[in-house]
Each structure stands twice: as structure tokens, then as C-alpha cells.
Amino acid sequence: MKPVTPDTSQKKTSITLDPKTIGNKAAYQLIIGSIVPRPIAFVSTQNAEGIGNLAPFSFFSGVSSHPPALMISVARNSDGSKKDTLRNIESTGELVVNSVGEWMIEAVNQCSAQYPFGVDEMGQVGLTPLRSERVKPFRVAESLIHLECRMMHIYEIGDGSEGSATVVIAEIILFHIDSTVYREGKILLEPLRAISRLAGKSYGKISGVFDLPRPKLPPSPLRE
Ligand SMILES: Cc1cc2nc3c(=O)[nH]c(=O)nc-3n(C[C@H](O)[C@H](O)[C@H](O)COP(=O)(O)O)c2cc1C
């Protein structure tokens, strides 16, 4: 097999930036512009007194299916303090990830305002609470998918100052899927109308979807 060689025939200009020299804010801009589109986890939690909290997180991904797990990354507030979502997860170990559809993006965005600890954003923005089955935080009735989760691991990234974050890995202990987006074990993309986060104030809708089958390599003597 021939080794891959870099193409030097065309001269391309590029900007090379070392994160150690550009500062946290510039690095943040490059990350949110480079890692696109990002799904949005609309995370409901409760504090130890049972007061709810709701906030969106786009540093969010699936992690594994055995056990079924996902991650969110919660950055520090600009004064270095912990966001309410993180405080609640640390004290109760429970969260619900609610999906975000086009019809609710204004309310989702409104929940990203810095409400004081102990104020439940769900009531403030007019979304409807729905009791969960295995965890205490309420689900958001307007969402078509709810993932009831229990915290598994917490990893601190950075020294706790602005720009640092805490990665929460959580096990999905119950899936709730609206029947309008469920068929034969799969999620239907069209009725879900999921919204993604891009950079700055920009969001994306899903369009131009196409199918691409996974490649099958021809039989190789090495693999036989
Ligand atoms: C679409 C969207 C995505 C966001 N993603 C993140 C994220 O991944 N991590 C984060 O720390 N903050 C994120 N934020 C900001 C938080 O939602 C915001 O800081 C919120 O006030 C946190 O609420 P809490 O203090 O109630 O936890 C996002 C905001 C929006 C609108």
C-alpha cells in the first residue's frame, strides 16, 4: 500500500494560532466556530430543596451505548462561580436532557439568561413541567424526547477560573420518546425538527439530508 503524502502542488494560505498566545476568549470563538453544528441539551435539574432549574448546553454529545451515556460540559460563570446546573448535579446526581425543537428555541434561549440560583426558568419562560419517572427533575412537556439521567463521572477541565469547565458524564436510565418521532426503534428526523447551535447568535435547522451507505472493503488476503 502507498503511503499518503501531503499535497504541496497548491499553495494555500492559512492562519496558524497557538491557543497559548491568543487568550481564552479568542480560543472560545475558534472552538464554537470550528465545532459545528452542535446539538443542544436542554437540561433540567433540581436543587436539594426541590427547586427546578433549566438551561441549554451545546457542548453536548453521546458517549456510549453500553451503558447508554452522554456528556455535557458546563463552563464556569465569568466570576469563576459554578452554574446552577452543575451545582444541582453535584448535589443530587440527577438530570434530564430534553430535546430542542424549532417551536421552542425562543424559550430555550431565554433560559440561558443568568437567573439567580433557586429560580426555576421553566416557570419564568412559560414551558410546561412534566413529572419524570426515575429522577426528581421535571421534564419539559414541549420537548419530544426526554432522557432521564444519573450522573456517573465529573471531570474538572482547567483551574476553575473563567473558561474552565466541568464535564459531566451521565447514564441514561430512561428514554421517553414522543410517538410522532418514533418508528420501529428509530427516531424520525423530520418531525423532530431539531435545532443546532452554531457560532455566536446563529442556530441551524436540519435540511439537505442525504444518505450514504457505509463502505465495504473488497476481500483482502491480509484479512482472510
Ligand atoms: C444554545 C445555547 C447553548 C449553550 N451551551 C452552553 C454550554 O455548552 N456550556 C455552558 O457552560 N453554557 C452554555 N450556554 C450558556 C448557559 O445556558 C447559561 O450560562 C445558563 O445561564 C446556565 O444556567 P444555570 O446557571 O441555570 O445552569 C449555552 C447557551 C445557549 C443559548
Which residues line the pocket of ligand 1, CB cutoff 6 A? Answer: 40, 53, 55-59, 73-75, 83-85, 109, 112, 114, 197
Distance 73 CA to ligand 1 centre (A): 9
Task: Report how far residue 177's alpha carbon sits from residue 20's, in angstroms, rounded to the nearest whole number.
Answer: 43
Q: Are 195 and 201 in contact (CB under 8 A)?
A: no
Q: For all residues of the chain together, what is the average pLDDT?
A: 95
Percent of the chain with pLDDT over 70: 98
Protein residue with least CA distance to atom 23, ligand 1? 55
Q: What is the pLDDT of residue 223?
A: 59
Q: What is the pTM of this model?
A: 0.94
pLDDT, average across residues 143-169: 97
Residues 5-41: tens digit of each pLDDT: 877 777 789 999 999 999 999 999 999 999 999 999 9
Question: 165 pLDDT exceeds 90?
Answer: yes
Distance 82 CA to ligand 1 centre (A): 12
Question: 175 pLDDT exceeds 60?
Answer: yes
Atom of ligand 1 nearest to the CA of 87: 27
Q: Which domains does the chain have, with CATH numbers?
A: 21-205 (2.30.110.10)
Residues 61-99: tens digit of each pLDDT: 999 999 999 999 999 999 999 999 999 999 999 999 999
Burial, 184: exposed, middle or buried (Cβ in 10 Å; 0-12, 13-18, 19+)?
A: exposed
The larger pLDDT score, comparing residue 89 to residue 162, is at: 89
CA distances to 16, 50, 87, 176, 212 from 74, in Å? 28, 21, 10, 24, 34
37 prior amide bond cis, ω within 30: yes
Q: What is the pLDDT of residue 205?
A: 98
Atom of ligand 1 nearest to the CA of 59: 8
Q: Which of 32, 35, 44, 57 maximizes ligand 1 atoms within 8 Å of its Cβ, making it the mutation to test the pocket?
A: 57
Question: 224 pLDDT exceeds 70?
Answer: no
Q: Which of 24, 32, 58 maximizes ligand 1 atoms within 8 Å of its Cβ, making it the mutation to test the pocket?
A: 58
Q: What is the pLDDT of residue 9?
A: 74
